[in-house]
Structure 1
């Protein structure tokens, strides 16, 4: 019962409006809709079974009330409600991290190259100056 109360409290906190379910639908039809919604919530098996049990008890007692929160009626029906999988998010993090490492290595590699090139240029200039002094 605590889980159901938590869902109801969460809906109230988030401004979830309640919409009347059409009068022709029975508690059994409402129960079926709610059970489908529970499957889409990706709860742990224990919590899902607990919530299903509470909903079935309320349906048996005729206490589903003939209304369901409007935000629950369309859950999972639109692609905008879908959440990216953990694998996709982890792949994105991996790409970002690899890019950062590559950029840092490229930066230090460039600095090392420039330092080496400057050192070689200075050596060449010293050799030229030395050769010019010998010629005089």
Structure 2
């Protein structure tokens, strides 16, 4: 059981790439799927943005520091692109969503670097 948890916390490069790809697809589906009608629920999805983008950046930062920087930049660009595209797919583009994306990217990347450093020690 400990090995399974260790693989989740300290993924290999291949696992990190796969997890990052899967989360990218899930984020794109979740944020760009057209809604039948616009839902006016301000503030309710900020935690979703934060968690999704933290999970996007963590695996790569935890497994490979240099590629983690690339995913850090990719995450910020992805968040900005999504907020620009959303008004065209019957959704709201919101600067506060982008802020939650950026904070999620920063926290996920930071936690990944800490995890990477911890893994290198043991």
- Provide the TM-score with structure 2 as the length reference: 0.30
Q: Would you tell me which structure has more helix in proportion to its own residues?
A: 2
Q: Would you tell me which structure has more strand in proportion to its own residues?
A: 1
Flag the structure with more relative contact order, 1 or 2, with Cα contacts below 8 A and sequence separation at least 6: 2
* Bigger Rg, which one: 1
- Provide the TM-score with structure 1 as the length reference: 0.28
